[in-house]
Amino acid sequence: MNDDNIYGHLICPDCRSRLEMQGHLRCKSCNRLFPVDGNFINLLPSNLSQSDLAEERFWATDPREGIRSHPLLALVVKRDNILYFYEQVLPGLRLHGKILEIGSGSCWLSALIKLMFPELCVIASDVAPSALMKGMQVSQLLGSKIDYFVACKVEQLPFEDEFFDYVIGSAILHHTSPQQAIREIFRVLKNRGTYIGIGELIIPKPLSLLWSRFGLAGRREKELGVKEGNYSLNQWKKFFNEAGFKEVTFDLERDPQYKQYHWFINLYYKMISRLPESLVRRFLACSVRIIAKKIED
C-alpha cells in the first residue's frame, strides 16, 4: 500500500464534519460510525437514491460484471473503454500525487493507472460496495495494488477540500446529478488540479428524447432503474463553468474501432467519423473526453 494515509483527511458525507479514526471511523459531530476493513472504507451517505440502490443491485447480481462472475468477464465487457483509455489517454498522462477515480465500477481504470504509476496514491470509489468488491478481484487479476477502495457518492465526496491532484472518471457523470457532482469534484481538487473524464455523451436536446426512449442507455435505465442523463454540449459547458472551472476542453471520441460493443453503435460512429467535427458537435450525439483544470487566482 502507498504510504499516503487518507484517514486524517476524511469528512462525514452527511454533516461534512471531520472523521476520527478509532478502530473505525467516527464523525465528531453527528457520531455516525463508518466501517473500515483493510483498505476498504464505507463512507456512503444516509440519503442514497433509488438509482444508487439500483447500482448496488446491478453489481451484486449481474451475470457478467457482478461479484459472483469471473473478473475477466468484467474486463471483456469494458473492452472498448479499456482499449481507448490504454491507447489514446494513458500514454499522454503525466500524473503525480493523489488520484481519485469516481464511479469506478470494476476499477479497471484505477488498476491501469496504478500499474503505470505505482508511486501514486490511487483511490477507487463507487456508490456500490459490490462494484468495489469486483474491483478488488479485477485489480488482483491484473497484479495492480490500488491503495484504497472507498464506497461513496460523487455528489457528497467524503474528502477534505483540495486533497486530490487529479479526479478521473469513465462514463460516470451522466449517472449523477452533474451540477452537484462537478461542484464536489472542483472542491476536492487542489488548485491547478485536473479532472479527466472519458466516455461522456453530448447530445442536442431534440435528439435526447429519442435517445432516452429508444437508445441502449434509455432501455438500461428502464430495466435497471439506473439514472442515464442526456446533456447537450452547452449544458456540459454550463455545469463546469458554474462549478468554477475556467479551463475546460471537450474532445470528440468518435473512432469506431473503440465502439464495437454493439453493431448499431459501431455503424453510427463509422458514419459520424466521416462528418465535419463542427456538424457533429452541433447536431449529433457523440461521446467526448472532458479535461477540466481548476485554476484559482
Domain range holding 133?
Answer: 50-293
Whole-angstrom distance, CA of residue 12 vs CA of residue 90: 33
Residue 3's pLDDT band, with cuts at 50, 70 and 90, is very low
The answer, yes or no, to whether residue 215 has pLDDT greater than 70, is no
In a domain, 16, yes or no: no
Helix H or strand E segment including 141: helix 129-142
For the cut 90, the answer to whether the pLDDT of residue 2 exceeds it is: no
53-72: per-residue pLDDT in tens?
Answer: 999 999 999 999 999 999 99
Asked if the structure places residue 31 within a domain, the reply is: no
- Overall pTM > 0.85: yes
Q: Per-residue pLDDT tens for 143-176? A: 999 999 999 999 999 999 999 999 999 999 999 9
Does any domain span residue 135? yes
Q: What is the pLDDT of residue 201?
A: 93
Number of domains the chain contains:
1
User: What pLDDT, on a 0 to 100 scale, did the predictor assign at position 67?
Assistant: 95
Average pLDDT along the chain: 93
Residues 6+ apart with CB under 8 A from 223: none
Kindly state the cell numbers that stand for 130: 459490490
Identify the band that residue 5 occupies on the pLDDT scale cut at 50, 70 and 90: confident
Q: How confident is the model at residue 228 (pLDDT cuts 50, 70, 90)?
A: confident
pLDDT band at 211 (very low <50, low <70, confident <90, very high): confident
Question: Is residue 197 domain-resident?
Answer: yes
Whole-angstrom distance, CA of residue 256 vs CA of residue 274: 10
| CATH code: domain of residue 176 | 3.40.50.150
Hunting for cell 478488488 — which residue is that?
136
Q: How many Cβ atoms sit within 10 Å of the Cβ of residue 34?
A: 20
